[in-house]
Copies of this chain bind each other. A is one copy, B any other.
């Protein structure tokens, strides 16, 4: 049996800033599971907690039952593959960034449902109207080319940037003109909505997209994502869940978690904490003269560090080395979350400052 406490005495392992899903769930969520545990419930998502969670989410969006159906699934890959497969005909293709999660981190899950991905280069981690239009123009030689039918974007993006209202409005307009569905991967939609750069409401996102999902896994839940589907696309959706193994017998455990996240503003509070921790890191780096590789808009920090600092940091903290630059420096990625301990961030910043000051003195 492993010890349930990993950090003891000298053997304390490096604190992880690798991702936003290294811990379990927010304590309130576990408490909600405990509190509701013994009731008997209808199965497969028709339990009272799931029904309640759906209504709470609709309330936050500001839409009613006639406008949106909501489905809970256990993982982000499930959310993406089911949403996409549910609304495409076999010859229809998805337009995505080449850095899109479905394009490079889901083991070909979309293609496994039979659909082609059309890859578009990212600008600041995002789809631009220009690049989207270009992709549409280059994919019109029918029927030899698959037919573009859905635009996939992530908000926050895979590199932590967010779509502004102006950007989303523009993409949405092109989609409508071009008969494209607009689908938003919301694995980190909480941090997007809570970003200081954000000017979009959930209602606006709902209006401008056809399907989007609200990530729970990276937002404090044990697991689970809530897919918000425009009513006209929801017919038959539950069959897709079942067919892909995503319709849990005890749907209640997803319902309870989202009920807890959305009955108050817990969901947003946790995302805000994650963003603030990232901001604290990037502010400290900038103050010390380090260059950010990307603006810190949500809970991911990309910063350029010299090898020596990187190496020394790795003894104390865990994180991804994102890219080796030609000048010998490297970009590292630091991810904060609802669970990030502010004391650890303070230690991180203090240590970097201390090292930097000492190094500067030595090199003077």
Contact = CB atoms under 8 A, between A and B. Distances in A.
Contact of A106 (B23, B144, B252): B144
Contacts of A311: none
Contacts of A217: 248-250
A37 B21 contact: no
Q: Quickly give the copy total for this chain.
A: 4
A119 B259 CA distance: 42
A177 interface: no
Interface stretch (A1-9, A200-208, A296-304): A1-9
A263 interface: yes
A252 B114 CA distance: 29
A143 interface: yes
A52 B4 CA distance: 12
B144 A242 contact: yes
A95 to B, nearest CB: 13
Nearest to A26: B37
Contacts of A218: 249
A90 B243 CA distance: 9
A223 B143 contact: no
User: Looking at chain A's contact residues, is the secondary structure mostly helix, strand, loop, or mixed?
Assistant: loop
Given A111-B116, A116-B111, A143 B35 contact: no
Most buried by B among A40, A42, A246: A40
Nearest to A43: B21
A363 to B, nearest CB: 35
A163 to B, nearest CB: 23
A343 interface: no
A183 B151 CA distance: 31
Contacts of A78: 244-246
Interface string A238-260: 11111111111110110000010
Contact of A112 (B37, B107, B114, B248): B114
Nearest to A32: B4
Given A222-B253, A223-B249, A249-B21, A91 B37 contact: no
Contacts of A79: 245
A350 interface: no
A168 interface: no
A22 interface: yes
Given A77-B245, A107-B144, A223-B248, 20 more contacts: A4-B36, A5-B39, A6-B39, A24-B252, A24-B253, A25-B37, A30-B37, A33-B33, A81-B244, A90-B239, A90-B240, A91-B112, A104-B144, A106-B144, A106-B242, A106-B243, A109-B245, A112-B114, A222-B250, A244-B245
